[in-house]
Amino acid sequence: MTGDDRRAVILGLDGATFDVLFPMMERGLLPNLERIVQEGVWGRLRSTVPAYTAQAWVSMLTGDYQGKHGIVDFWRNPTDRSGGGIADSTLIRAETLWAFLGRHGKTTGFVNVPVTYPPAKVDGYMVSGLMTPPGRMDYTYPPELRAEILEAVGDYDPDPYDPMAPSKTLLNQCLYWLRKREEACEFLLREHPTDLFMNVVQELDQIQHFFWSCLDDSDPRHSPEGAAEYMPLIEECYVLVDSIVGQRLSLVDERTNLFLASDHGFGPAHTWFEVDKFLSELGLLVLQSKGRSALNRAASFIGLTPRKIRSTFLRTDTIGLSQKLGRWARIAWGRKLETALTGQVDWSATKAVAGSPTTEGIYINLKGRDERGIVGSGDEYEELRDLIMTKLSELKDPATGATIIEDVCRKEDVYEGEYVSLLPDVVFSMKQGYMPRDDLSASGILEPIPCLGYVDGRHRPDGIFMAVGPDIGEGEIRGTRIVDVTPTVLYAMGLPVPINLDGRVCLEAFSRVYRDSHEIEYEEPVVGSGDSESDTAYSVDEMEKILRELSGLGYLS
């Protein structure tokens, strides 16, 4: 097989789930997506473990899971969330789709893909997306492309959102940026054609985080009044996304195949699981007894937490003060509350701590690996992991009597590769409706998520995969994983596939004619382009803004 003139288009729909799309198709709202279902292939796509944005999109773009590509969280180092900084594109250790195609003489255009800041020097162009620092002007490669985009569309922001709570303002922002970003994409497709073009539509993720109970009438928090208020704008957003799908369908010709994929699916979020509180009650996480302020002691006595204060403030904020304060004031206010009301960890007595919510795991405070480690390797380490796994498996919601953990395992049972050491020692996944947090100030292990001011939906493992084009088959396909997207696209473009990828070519997505005439060709892998010595791409102020956005989406405490 030799690389020919085949092209590919990838449309990423962040957080898209058939649980929402199929009902809308049945109502005739999404004719272009329905057309792909009828004329191409479709199926659920299994995301990473856990199913979060940073590691999922990078897994899609490399064909490898976290243990090989090194992006395991939104943090550069998930065990150092105070000074380690936020992950960026320089930390991707596996070869990326753009690097592979460039090495084979193919041009690429990538727009609004998460974890692509700073943009790579590609043979083509790149416009970074989610996690681009606010106010930066260096979000395009080549640099002069930014001026072209602004001249063509008048306004562009690679990461414009500052989510606080469900509102019509947020939905109108989604509509505005959907249109502006699509204007930019169509300009680039027209003026700078490439062999592969990929962009990600971020807005579905934003909408489903804050309006899931409007979309899902089986959700116990569903309100007919709330749905009536917000659904017209929500549906307008989905219809606009479908029109973007229609534009990409217009690009399909005798040598161009179209692929649609989401990084994960979605479901309800009604209860926080406070992981550090769980560890504290097991005696594995210990707070310092000395130096606690009078305010801290009083707050603990009456059950006052920063979250309860923030929830009350948002619920009674009739004049929109939370928005008027601005990002920096809100961040400073929240951190001062946390400092005042939460005790400090006593590392000399602490054996285990929660990873960030987007690792869905627990780290052992291990001697020889962690700076203040106290747990010995070998039997002590393994016995502690066994204890934690058993206690997690037994954990029940007193309101229902049912267990809340879907699966729990050791990290080496899930991951492999050079960067497994960055991953939690114990990995768990939660049943639908439950969402992990790492809030030491929590009053209980399980806490209801307030209906106002916090996320309404959370990521689930099953996203979507769809394809249509001259080389694509028809009907439902099963077993597709997020790491399969890159090798499948390479095969569709007539290119060899690196032999060591975690992903596979989804042959079942292709027509028999194409499969019979195109044998899969493999090649030896090359070293990825990540720079382990690079400094963080973000200033302190820029990092604060991104942390604010990630917290608003429920990814961080």
Give the pLDDT band (50/70/90) at residue 553: low
Contact 504, 487 (CB under 8 A): yes
Q: Percent of the chain scored above 70 by pLDDT?
A: 82
What pLDDT, in 10s, does the model give residues 466-500? 999 999 999 999 999 999 999 999 999 999 999 99
pLDDT digits (tens, 9 = 90+) for 201-256: 999 999 999 999 999 998 888 889 889 999 999 999 999 999 999 999 999 999 99
Contact assessment for residue 474 and residue 510, using Cβ atoms and an 8 Å cutoff: no
Predicted confidence at residue 454, as pLDDT, reads 65
Q: CA-to-CA distance for 497 and 503, rounded, in angstroms?
A: 10
Q: Regarding beta strands 426-430 and 361-364, do their DSSP bridges make them parallel or antiparallel, or are they unpaired? A: antiparallel
Q: Is 13 within 8 Å of 262 (Cβ atoms)? A: yes
What value, to the nearest 5°, has the Cα angle with vertex 274 and ends 325 and 87? 60
Contact at 8 Å (CB) between 44 and 16? no
Name the phi and psi angles at 80, rounded to 5: -135, 80
d(CA 297, CA 69): 44
Average model confidence (pLDDT) across the chain: 87
Q: Tell me the three-class secondary structure of 271-327, residue by residue.
A: EEEEHHHHHHHCCCCCECCCCCCHHHHHHHHHCCCHHHHHHHHHHHCCCCHHHHCHH
Which of 186-200, 312-326, 394-408, 504-518 is predicted with the least confidence, judged by mean pLDDT? 312-326
**Burial profile 354-392: b = 16 or more Cβ within 10 angstroms, e = fewer:** bbbbbbbbbbbbbeeebeebebeeeeebeebbeebbebb
pLDDT, mean of residues 133-144: 93
The answer to whether the CB of 114 falls within 8 A of the CB of 53 is yes
Lowest mean per-residue pLDDT among 49-53, 90-94, 290-294, 410-414:
290-294
Q: Higher model confidence: residue 547 or residue 312?
A: 547
Q: In the predicted model, is pLDDT for residue 137 greater than 50?
A: yes
What are the φ/ψ torsions at residue 241 (nearest 5 degrees)?
Answer: -60, -40
H helical segments located in 361-482: 379-394
The hierarchical CATH code for the domain 7-264+461-466+486-499+518-551 is 3.40.720
For 317-336, the pLDDT digits (tens) are: 444 544 444 433 444 444 44
Q: Is the pLDDT of residue 552 over 90?
A: no
**Looking at residue 337, what is its pLDDT?**
47
- What pLDDT does residue 329 have? 42
Query: Closest by alpha carbon to 14, among 230, 262, 213?
Result: 262
The pLDDT value recorded for residue 301 is 44
**Can you give the pLDDT at residue 330?**
44
pLDDT-wise least confident of 278-282, 309-313, 328-332, 391-395? 328-332
- Does 533 have pLDDT greater than 50? no
More confident residue, 523 or 164: 523
221 vs 341, more confident: 221
Q: Is the pLDDT of residue 145 over 90?
A: yes
Q: Over 60: is that where the pLDDT of 305 sits?
A: no
> Taking a C-beta distance cutoff of 8 angstroms, is the pair 273, 60 a contact?
no
Distance from the Cα of residue 80 to its chain's centroid: 20
Domain boundary assignment for the chain: 7-264+461-466+486-499+518-551, 269-458
Q: What percent of the chain has pLDDT over 90?
A: 71
